[in-house]
Structure 1
C-alpha cells in the first residue's frame, strides 16, 4: 500500500509538471495585428506560430509548461495578389505566410520573451526593446503573488517620438511605423554590444537606448540592461499579453513630460481639460493595471488613491511640468 501511495504522489507531481498554461493574446490596437511566435531550440512545438487578430479581439493559445521563446505582433500586413506571398511592414517573420513556422521577427519589433518552468520552478518573462519597437505591449500574469508575478511592458506608443535616425518610414504612411534600435540603424559595435564591446563593462547605455528606457522603464533597452527588467512568477501561471494596452498614449514630436526622480517620462493626459495653473492631475486606471504604475515611482507623491467601480483613481501633485521632445 505504501508503494502505491508513493507512486500516486509521483504521478501527481509528474502531471503537475507537464500541465500546459494559457497565453491570452488581446488586440487593443486601432487596427488588425498578426501575432507571431518563435520557440527556443529545445522547446516543444506550439499549436500555432502566427495568426490574424482583429481589433478588439482575443485568442488563447495553449503553451507547453517548459516552453521558452518570444512573441510579437506584426502590423500593416498584406498578401500579394499574384504570388500569394504574405508580408508585413513591421516585425515580418519572412515565412511568406501568416504562420511564422520557425522564423523570428525582423527588427524593429517589440518582443515579449518567456522561459516557463525555469530555474527554481519559476517562470521568467520580460519585454524587450533591444531589437527596436513597433507596438506597445503589456504582460499580465493571472496569478497574483506578493513579491512576484508583476506586470511588465511598454505602455506608450513611441513611433511618433522616435528619433529621426531610428525612425522606420513606409511609403504612403505619415510619420514612422516603427522605431529601430541603434544597433540595427548604425551597425556600430558600441550599440550592438559586440566585438570589443561584448561585455557589461564595455557596453554602456547610449542616448538612443535611454530614449527607450525613459519611456518604458520596465523593458530591456539594450543587451546589458538592468537585470531587474526580468520578472518571475511561480510556474503554472496563465498570462495575458495585451497589445496597445489601456492606458497608453501616442507620443508626438512635442508632448507633455513629467520629471520624476531625474527621469523624464511621457504622461497620460487627463480626459478632462484642466486650468493651466492646476496643481493636480487625476487619472483613472483599470484596477488590474495598478501594478504597471510602479515604474513611474509615484510612492509618496499620491495625494489620493481610491477604488471605485473596479477602477483606481489617482490624483498626483504636479512636481515639474515640461514641454519638449526627445
Structure 2
C-alpha cells in the first residue's frame, strides 16, 4: 500500500507540473533583418533535449518562434551563402554544420561563426547567455531579453559588420562568384597557436590574455566574447525571460548607402550597441510569446509522460 501511495503521489506531481499555468519553457524569436537569406543552425548541449528544429531557412524580414524546455542549453548561429548541389547535398560558405542537410542534427558550426550561447535555469535559477566571437565572426547578431528580471538582464551582441574591416590575415573571402569578405576568423583558427587558443601553457585566465586580434573584436563589439576568458564584460543573466535573436539588426554595413556613403565607416565610429538609435533597432525589442500550437504540444507531451508513468508503475506493482 505504501508503494502504491508513493507512486500515485509522484504521478500526480508529474501531471500537476505539466498543467500549471506558470510552468513553461523559454521562447526564442529569431528575426532576419539582413538583406540576404540566413540559414540559422541550432546545437543543444550534451544531456539536454534537442529543440523542435536544428536548422531552417529564414528569408529576408522573416521571423520564426521556437519554444525551449526549462533548463535547456545550447547555441544559435547564422549560416550564409548556402546552396544545394545536384546530388542534394546542402552546404554553406560560413557557419556550415557539416550535416549535408538543412537540419544540423547534432553538429555545430564550423568556424568562423558568430554564436549566441544560452544556459537556461542555471545557478540561482538564472539564464546565462552571451554572444561569442571566440570562434570568429560571420554575421551581425543581437540578443535581447524580453520580460526578464535581474541586475545584469540586458542586451548583448555584435551589431557592426566586421567582415570588410577584418584584418587581411583573418579574412575569409567569397568563393561563390561574389566579392569581398564573408567571415572573419579568430586568431586561434587562423594561426593555431596556444597563446591565441588559450591552450597548453596559456590555458588559464592568468596566462591567456587578450591579443591584438581579439582586441579588434572587442573594440567593435564590447559586449561580445572576444577570447576564451573574456567573461567579466560578456556574460549576462536573466530570470524568467524570453529572448529575441536578430540577425543584422542595423542596416547591412558591408553595403554602400543610396547616397554613396560608406555605412561601414559610420558603424565604426558609432557605438555598435547604441540604443538611442531606435530606427536602427526597430523590431529588435518586440515581445515574444510562445506559439499556442507549440505550447499545446509541450503540455500534451508532459501529459503523455505522466500517463505512461502511471501505467508502468501500476504494472510494476501488480
The two structures have a TM-score, normalised by structure 1, of 0.74
Equivalent-residue separation in structure 2 for 1:147 and 1:254 (angstroms):
33
Structure with the higher fraction of residues in helix conformation: 2
Cross-structure match for 1:169: 173
Report whether the alignment pairs 1:109 with 2:113: yes
Mind listing any 5+ residue stretches in structure 2 that lack a counterpart?
A: 1-8, 256-261, 286-318
| Partner-residue secondary structure (3-state), 1:285 | coil
Cross-structure match for 1:255: 265
Q: Is the 8 A contact 1:78 1:87 kept in 2?
A: yes
Residue among 144, 147, 151 paired with 1:147: 151
Equivalent-residue separation in structure 2 for 1:77 and 1:146 (angstroms):
38
Report whether the alignment pairs 1:55 with 2:60: yes
| Partner-residue secondary structure (3-state), 1:56 | coil
Report whether the alignment pairs 1:35 with 2:45: no
Equivalent-residue separation in structure 1 for 2:149 and 2:279 (angstroms):
19
Q: Which has the higher contact order (CA 8 A, sep 6+)?
A: 2
1:216-295 correspondence to structure 2 within 5 Å? 216-234=221-239, 236-246=240-250, 249-250=253-254, 255=265, 266-267=269-270, 284-286=277-279
Equivalent-residue separation in structure 1 for 2:65 and 2:227 (angstroms):
30
1:286 to 1:143, Cα distance in 2 relative to 1, 3 A: farther
Query: Size of the alignment, in residue pairs?
Result: 264
Report whether the alignment pairs 1:19 with 2:24: yes
- Cα distance per residue 1:225-255 (max 9 Å; x no partner): 1323110000x32111000013674497983
| Partner-residue secondary structure (3-state), 1:77 | strand
Q: Is the 8 A contact 1:36 1:74 kept in 2?
A: yes
Report whether the alignment pairs 1:184 with 2:189: yes
Q: CA deviation at 1:148?
A: 3.5
1:214 to 1:268, Cα distance in 2 relative to 1, 3 A: closer
| Partner-residue secondary structure (3-state), 1:149 | coil
Equivalent-residue separation in structure 2 for 1:230 and 1:162 (angstroms):
24
The 10-residue stretch of structure 1 (141-150 or 154-163) with the greater mean CA deviation from structure 2? 141-150
1:185-224 correspondence to structure 2 within 5 Å? 185-224=190-229
The 10-residue stretch of structure 1 (208-217 or 221-230) with the greater mean CA deviation from structure 2? 221-230
Q: Is the 8 A contact 1:124 1:232 kept in 2?
A: yes
Structure with the higher fraction of residues in strand conformation: 1
